[in-house]
Amino acid sequence: MSYIGSIIEYYLDKNNRIITMHPEKNLGSISFEVQREPISNFDGMKLHVTILNCQDLPNMDNDGSLTDSYVKLFILPGEEKGIRTDTIKDDLNPVFNKTFSFVLPGMRETKEIVLQVFDSSNEERGNDEMIGEARLMLKEDDNTMGTTSHLMMLKPMSVTPPLKSFNSRTSNSSYKRGISHEPLHRGSIKIRVKGELVDGSKQLNLTIIDCKDLPNMDENDDGSLSDPYVKIFFIPGEEEGIRTETKKDDLNPVFNRPYQFLMPKDNVIRELVLQVFDSDDNIQDKEEDDKIGEARILLTSEDYMLDKVYRLTLKSFKHSPPKPQRTSIIKKNKY
* Residue 165 reports pLDDT greater than 60: no
First to last CA, the chain: 60
* Residue 146 reports pLDDT greater than 70: yes
DSSP class of 128: P
Please report the pLDDT score of residue 231 as a whole number: 94
* Residue 219 reports pLDDT greater than 70: no
Domain 9-153 classified CATH 2.60.40.150? yes
Handedness of CA 113, 211, 231, 316 (dihedral sign): negative
Q: How far apart are CA 283 and CA 226, in angstroms?
A: 15
**Are the C-beta atoms of residues 112 and 76 closer than 8 Å to each other?**
yes
Q: Grade residue 244 by pLDDT with cuts at 50, 70 and 90.
A: very high
Please tell me the number of Cα atoms within 13 Å of 213 on its side-chain side.
15
Q: What single string gives the DSSP state of each residue in 240-282?
A: S-EE-PPPTT-SS-EEEEEEEEEPPSS---EEEEEEEEE--TT
What is the value of pTM for the model shown?
Answer: 0.46
Q: Is 304 helix (H, G, I), strand (E, B) or coil?
A: helix
Q: CA 4 → CA 7, 8, 10, 21, 307, distances in Å?
A: 8, 10, 17, 16, 54
List every span in the chain annotated with CATH 2.60.40.150: 9-153, 183-331
Taking residues 35-58, report their average pLDDT.
85
Q: How far apart are CA 284 and CA 137, in angstroms?
A: 48
Higher pLDDT, 73 or 180: 73
DSSP class of 24: T
Domain 183-331 classified CATH 2.40.160.20? no
Instruction: Convert the pLDDT of each residue in 80-103 to its tens digit.
Output: 567 899 999 999 999 999 998 887
Neighbouring residues of 273: CB distance < 8 A, sequence distance ≥ 6: 232, 233, 234, 235, 241, 294, 295, 296, 322
* Residue 174 reports pLDDT greater than 50: no
Please report the pLDDT score of residue 108 as a whole number: 60
Neighbouring residues of 178: CB distance < 8 A, sequence distance ≥ 6: none
Between strands 201-212 and 228-235, the pairing is unpaired
Partnered with residue 276 across adjacent β-strands are: 230, 293
Q: Grade residue 228 by pLDDT with cuts at 50, 70 and 90.
A: very high
* Residue 328 reports pLDDT greater than 90: no
Q: Grade residue 173 by pLDDT with cuts at 50, 70 and 90.
A: very low
Q: Grade residue 278 by pLDDT with cuts at 50, 70 and 90.
A: very high
